[in-house]
Structure 1
Amino acid sequence: MKAQVFRGVNNLQYEEIPIPELAEDEVLVQVKVVGLCQSDIKKIKYPLYEPPRIFGHETAGTICQIGAAVEGWQVGDRVVVMHHIPCMNCGYCETGSYSMCETYKNITTTAGFAPSGGGFAEYVKVPGHIVRQGGLIPIPDYVTFEQASFVEPTNCCLKAVKKAQIRTGQTVLITGAGPIGLMFVMLVNHFGAKAIVTDLIPARLEKALAVGALAAFDACDRDLTHKVQDLTQGYGVDVSLLAVPSEKAFFQALDCTRKGGKILFFAEFPDEVEIPLNPNLLYRREIDLMGSYSSAFPLQALSAELVFENKIDVNALISDRYPLSELANAVEQAIQPTPETYKILLYP
């Protein structure tokens, strides 16, 4: 089969490699579409992992082979592949911190080499633990593979929205109007809150308004704080979601968040970034700082429902489609986006 093999920093090789062999409790899925995620891009652009590896994890496809011990699935079933499933038994899972679970972190889908997601290939193998514990989600006939590939990123964003306890009547600041920021707008609206968005690209601000934002402002606007206050009766937003790894965006969020509000870090910052902060700003204003990483297993069904029942319009997020052979070009476009670049999908 063909796969995009990570051979080192900025070194992707479109290679012919063996189709993974199955154990009796495993499933092989033919990849129909896979989304390009910012975490994939970081793994390709920075020395985070030893090569060789095959990345890609926002995967939808068709089961083409099943192990002898697999029950409940048939060849031909259309599925979303969740690349991580927690153990549900450890101290992290017992407290709801599923993405901290060692099983969640270490057992993943693979197309070969060190298991690393494996979606950037023609076929991906799903380990028995993931098969048994609900890591395959059936795709209804009326849902496209493209739409289904959004279930995993929807789960990640939904986890953040739930963690920040966003609810009806609240106002939420979203920094960044890329595909993740736009998905946040849709989810915020779904739960009855209002979204205010910032970005540096005018076309993205227009897109944010088109998908339901209450307002959208240039991130360099010197009057941003006052404009946010005007929209929130002088209080500021209830929650700020940082969808871009920007120190300036954090301090804007701090200025725009009301007393007693929350600021959630969703985008991953470079490790060398340190943000100087007077703790009294949090103490006196009772601001909660929190982070949200990856997905949450209990939200898997709701994430699928939101996508499958068109409760959020994931089609509006798709901007570009590439054959898998052009993954390197897709990565470069994501790093240097045009004004119309949002979600990029790849096809083996």
Structure 2
Amino acid sequence: MKAQVFRGVNQLSYEEIPTPEVLPDEVLVKVQVVGLCQSDIKKIRYPLYNPPRIFGHETAGTIAAVGAEVKDWQVGDRVVVLHHIPCMYCAYCLNDNFSMCEVYKNITTTAGFAPSGGGFAEYVKVPGHIVRQGGLMTIPDPVTFEQASFVEPTNCCLKAVKKAQVQPGETVLITGAGPIGLMFIMLVKYFGARAIATDLLPNRIEKALSVGADAAFDARDPELPTKIQSLTQGMGVDTSLLAVPSEKAFFQALDCTRKGGKILFFAEFPDEVEIPLNPNILYCREIDLMGSYSSSYRVQALAADIVFNQRIDVDALVSDRYPLKDLAAAVEQAVSPSSETYKILIYP
């Protein structure tokens, strides 16, 4: 089969490699589409993992083979592939910190080499633990493979919205109107809150409004805190969701978030970034700082329901489609996006 093999920093090699062989409790899926995620890009562009590996994890496809012990799945089934499933019994899982679970971190889908997601290949193997514990989800007939590939990123954003306890009637600031920021806007609106978005690109500001933002501003606008105050009866927003790894965006959120409000870090910052902060700001204004990383098994069914029943318009997030052989070009576009670059999908 064909696969894009990570051979080193910024080195992707489109190669012919063996199709994975399934063990009795495993399933092999033919990949129909896989989303390109910022975490994939980070792994490709920085020395975080030893090569060779095959990344890609926002995967939807068709079951091509099942092991002899697999009872609930058949060849031809259309499925979303979840690349991580927690153990459900460790101290982290018992506290709903599923993404901290060692099983969650270390058992994943693979197309070969060190298991690393494996979606950037023609076939991906799903290990027995993931098969047994709900890591395959049937795609309903009316739902396209493209739409189904959004279940995993929807889960990640939904986890953050739930962690921030966004409530109907609240106002939420979303910094950045790329694919993640746009999904946040859709989810915030779905849960009955108002969304205010910021971005640097005029087209993305317009896009934010088109997918439901109540207001959208240039992030460089020096009057932004004043404008947000006027939209919130002088209070500021209830919650800020940082969808871009920007120190300036954080301090902007701090200026725009009301007393007693919340700021949630969703985007991963470069390791060398340190943000100087007077803790008395948090103390006196009672601001809650929190982070949200990866997905949550707790909201998996809801994420699938939201996508499968079109409660948000994931089709509106797709801007570009690339064949697998052109993955390197897709990564370059994502790193240096045009004003109309949003979600990029890859087709093996």
Smaller-chain TM-score range?
over 0.9
Q: Give the aligned partner of residue 78 of structure 1.
A: 78
Deviation at 1:215, TM superposition (A): 0.4
Q: 1:187: Cα distance to partner?
A: 0.1
Output the CA distance in 2 between the equivalents of 1:300 and 1:162.
Answer: 12
Report the residue type matching 1:112 in the other structure: G
- Counterpart code for 2:9: V
- Cα drift, residue 339 of structure 1: 0.7
Shift of the alpha carbon at 1:8? 0.1
Output the amino acid matched with 1:46.
Y
Counterpart in 2 of 1:6?
Answer: 6
> Structure 2: how far apart are the matches of 1:60 and 1:236?
40
Amino acid at match of 1:11: Q
**SS of structure 1 residue aligned to 2:255:** helix
Amino acid at match of 1:164: A
TM-score (norm 1): 1.00
Pairing 1:57–2:57 present: yes
Q: For residues 189 and 272 of structure 2, what CA distance do their matches in structure 1 show? A: 35
Query: Following superposition of structure 1 onto structure 2, how do residues 27-42 of structure 1 map, counting pairs within 5 Å?
Result: 27-42=27-42
| Residue identity in the other structure for 2:212 | G
- 1:264 maps to 2:284: no
CA shift at 1:40, angstroms?
0.1
CA distance in 2, matches of 1:306, 1:137: 14
Distance in 2, Cα, partners of 1:300 & 1:53: 27
Deviation at 1:74, TM superposition (A): 0.4
RMSD: 0.3
The residue type equivalent to 1:89 in the other structure is: Y
For the residue of structure 1 that corresponds to 2:294, the secondary structure is coil
Deviation at 1:298, TM superposition (A): 1.3
Amino acid at match of 1:242: L
Task: Normalising by structure 2, report the TM-score.
Answer: 1.00
* AA partner of residue 264 (structure 1): L
* Runs of 4 or more above 3 Å deviation: none
Shift of 1:80: 0.2
The letter of the residue matching 1:119 is G
Q: Deviations over 1:207-247 (max 9, x none)?
A: 00000001000000000000000000000000000000000
**In 1, distance between residues paired with 2:138 and 2:22?**
20
2:171 is matched with: 171
Gaps of 5+ in 2: none
Counterpart amino acid of residue 216 in structure 2: A
**Identity of aligned pairs, percent?**
79
Give the superposition deviation at 1:71.
1.2
1 CA distance for matches of 2:137 and 2:240?
31
* Aligned equivalents of 1:58, 1:173: Cα separation in 2: 26
Matches within 5 A, 1:224-303: 224-303=224-303
**Residue aligning to 1:347:** 347
- Tell me the residue number matched to 1:25: 25
Partner Cα separation in structure 2 for residue 270 and residue 22 of structure 1: 38
Shift of 1:344: 0.2
The CA distance in 1 between the partners of 2:170 and 2:253, in whole Å, is: 15
